[in-house]
Structure 1
Amino acid sequence: MKTTITIVDNLSTNKSSYTQAVDLLIKGEVVAFPTETVYGLGAIATSEEAVAKIFEAKGRPQDNPLIVHIGSKEEISAFTHDIPKLAEVCMDMFWPGPLTLILPLKPDTLAKNVTAGLQTVGVRMPEHSVALELLRQLKQPVAAPSANKSGKPSPTKAEHVFHDLAGKIPLILDGGTTGIGLESTVIDFVSDTPTILRPGGVTKEMLEKVIGQVSVAKSTDHEDAPRAPGMKYAHYAPDSPVYLIENSITKVQQAVKKIHSEQKKVAIIASDLFSQIKGDYFFSLGKENQLGDAGHLLYQALRNCDETDVDIILVPVLSKEGVGMAIMNRLEKAANGKWFHI
């Protein structure tokens, strides 16, 4: 299969720019497209055969549910029911935007492989002109995980999608670099207390200002099926092993010395404060304590490591305040819980 990249300007409303993508989706194919978080790989959510092509292209585990993307709130009534009032408040406040709501699923409405057999569905309305125009022209719900090889860092550029999925999908809509750079926050409204299953750009603090108490779930145990994407398995990982390390210049210098003594090469992914440490490679997450910049740059930095001959990747931990919770969630997954000890 040949993979075509079509450039679609982020501000464009030229409907003809989307015709090929809409036609492919209607025919049961998959299409990659930009959102404000990362690039997604979409298929019409009511077609089990089309959705199966997402899992095939990504090599994604079948028990990992997909998020359904919509272009208007009116679409949600076709496949959900008994929407809690607090969920409606969040729709009004945060949609379009990087917030996925877990809601009760109306039986026999979506393809079964979208929800991995669960009686709930994750739904969001993306805040990106390309994604919204595509969805509004299509007028159907689209299931779309991140458009990358399963387990690898999510794509924030069309070239990342092409690197991972060339020859496996027919079309990539290139809308430039994504803004936030981290996947959406996922919040469960089926629980007694609204519960964040995956942190993202809409933070716990932002949610609590609007709906009151919000809890945060732990990652799913290996024996259990995940309730939302990103809760299970090692995720977001480059080819070389990632190790978390204390946020200390001295500790990182000692670690680099130890790694070099073993004749190995090391990359450091960190704020510019660490740029003078003499590792073999350095990839910046921006200025110290600028967590929004760090989130935007994280996946690019992880992918950059795959272009090197590095043996070990060190990442000093960041604050878990605000969007830092989402960044550390991704880093803990990328490292699969590994810490570098001197």
Structure 2
Amino acid sequence: MSSIFDCGDEAQLLAGMRHARQAIGRGELIVMPTDTVYGVAADAFSPAAVQRLLDAKGRGRNQPPPVLIGSRETLAALVETIPEPVQRLVDAFWPGGLTIVLPAQPSLVWDLGETEGTVAVRMPEGRVALELLAETGPLAVSSANLTGQAAAISAFDAERMLGDSVAVYLSHGMSRDGIASTIVDATSLVRRGASDEDGRVRILRDGAVTRQQLEEVLGELLEPAPVPDSPAGRQGGDS
């Protein structure tokens, strides 16, 4: 049976964090608050746990989850390289609501699904998320909802949809605004080079960080907005 802990109560916070760490260590799922929406999380380096996450959401391997990290420095361990424009994005928006897709570090032994050699990484804001990530290491985290339903903005929303497929629910009130992170694809900066005409950052999903904010940091390295009625790129429902 699942356990729900109110992280606004210090005693429950300590107990909830302990139970969450233990659940992650056993390859089970937890639900955690982030600065965007609630996320369902699993050990990013346990293929069985990641598959359990996808199954709980009713999601296929063609929709791999992003990875949340507890510090900016961890990014270098997960990706092949950090181009200078990406470092600017990290400095400007982390911790916060920006997920960045880059080629994954080839030496890593993990299986997040059909990633085509990439990984989507974010450092969230919030005490609960950051303290948990500091103790567990990188977590595969997707929005805490069934595929096709609205992202959970409370632990109780998540529990209603995910039930006993999740071992531990960490509750910390309602999500601030219920807006998921913005996702940008920066892989062309690595694979083609920023001097190439295709070496631009592309917005895959609009979210917490606006296009205007991204333009202020990237300038012409941000791909222009699509014209009306054209495909807007791959969208997702992750935290």
TM-score, normalising length from structure 1?
Answer: 0.61
Q: Deviations for 1:287-321, whole angstroms, at most 9, x for unmatched residues? A: xxxxxxxxxxxxxxxxxxxxxxxxxxxxxxxxxxx
Within 5 A, what are the aligned runs for 1:6-155? 6-9=5-8, 15-112=14-111, 114-138=112-136, 140-155=137-152
CA distance in 1, matches of 2:113, 2:232: 18
Contact 2:16 2:170 in 1 (8 A): no
CA distance in 1, matches of 2:12, 2:184: 31
CA-CA distance at 1:173 after TM superposition: 0.3
CA-CA distance at 1:206 after TM superposition: 0.4
**Structure 1 counterpart of 2:155, which letter?**
A
Contact 2:16 2:168 in 1 (8 A): no
CA-CA distance at 1:62 after TM superposition: 1.8
CA-CA distance at 1:66 after TM superposition: 1.0
CA-CA distance at 1:12 after TM superposition: 8.9
1:207 aligns with 2:206: no
- 1:166 is paired with a residue whose SS is helix
Within 5 A, what are the aligned runs for 1:320-339? none
**Structure 1 counterpart of 2:181, which letter?**
S
**Structure 1 counterpart of 2:41, which letter?**
G
- 2:203 is paired with a residue whose SS is strand
Closer/same/farther in 2, CA of residues 219 and 10 from structure 1, 3 Å limit? farther
In the other structure, the counterpart of 2:201 is 194
The structure having more radius of gyration, on CA atoms, is 1
Q: Deviations for 1:250-289, whole angstroms, at most 9, x for unmatched residues? A: xxxxxxxxxxxxxxxxxxxxxxxxxxxxxxxxxxxxxxxx
User: Tell me, which stretches of 5 or more residues in structure 1 are unaligned?
Assistant: 221-225, 232-342
CA-CA distance at 1:167 after TM superposition: 1.9
Contact 1:10 1:129 in 2 (8 A): no
Contact 2:151 2:237 in 1 (8 A): no
Contact 2:5 2:12 in 1 (8 A): no
- 1:57 is paired with a residue whose SS is helix
Number of positions where the alignment pairs a residue of Structure 1 with one of Structure 2 = 222
CA distance in 1, matches of 2:88, 2:74: 17
**Structure 2 counterpart of 1:91, which letter?**
V
Closer/same/farther in 2, CA of residues 182 and 81 from structure 1, 3 Å limit? same
Closer/same/farther in 2, CA of residues 157 and 111 from structure 1, 3 Å limit? same
CA distance in 2, matches of 1:39, 1:169: 13
CA-CA distance at 1:16 after TM superposition: 4.7
CA-CA distance at 1:129 after TM superposition: 1.4
User: Tell me, which stretches of 5 or more residues in structure 2 are unaligned?
Assistant: 189-198
1:182 aligns with 2:179: yes
In the other structure, the counterpart of 2:192 is none
CA distance in 2, matches of 1:135, 1:12: 19
CA-CA distance at 1:115 after TM superposition: 4.6
Q: Deviations for 1:137-181, whole angstroms, at most 9, x for unmatched residues? A: 22x110101011111000001110011011221111001101131
CA-CA distance at 1:111 after TM superposition: 2.2
- 2:173 is paired with a residue whose SS is coil
**Structure 1 counterpart of 2:163, which letter?**
A
Identity %: 35
CA-CA distance at 1:67 after TM superposition: 0.7
- 2:236 is paired with a residue whose SS is coil
Closer/same/farther in 2, CA of residues 13 and 171 from structure 1, 3 Å limit? closer
CA distance in 1, matches of 2:98, 2:21: 24
The Cα RMSD (Å) is: 2.1
Closer/same/farther in 2, CA of residues 176 and 210 from structure 1, 3 Å limit? same
CA-CA distance at 1:17 after TM superposition: 4.1
Within 5 A, what are the aligned runs for 1:150-299? 150-191=147-188, 192-213=199-220, 214-215=222-223, 216=225, 218-219=231-232, 229-230=236-237
- 2:164 is paired with a residue whose SS is coil
In the other structure, the counterpart of 1:256 is none
Closer/same/farther in 2, CA of residues 117 and 101 from structure 1, 3 Å limit? closer
Closer/same/farther in 2, CA of residues 89 and 110 from structure 1, 3 Å limit? farther
Query: Higher RCO, 1 or 2 (CA under 8 Å, sep at least 6)?
Result: 2
CA-CA distance at 1:77 after TM superposition: 2.1
In the other structure, the counterpart of 1:330 is none
**Structure 2 counterpart of 1:129, which letter?**
R
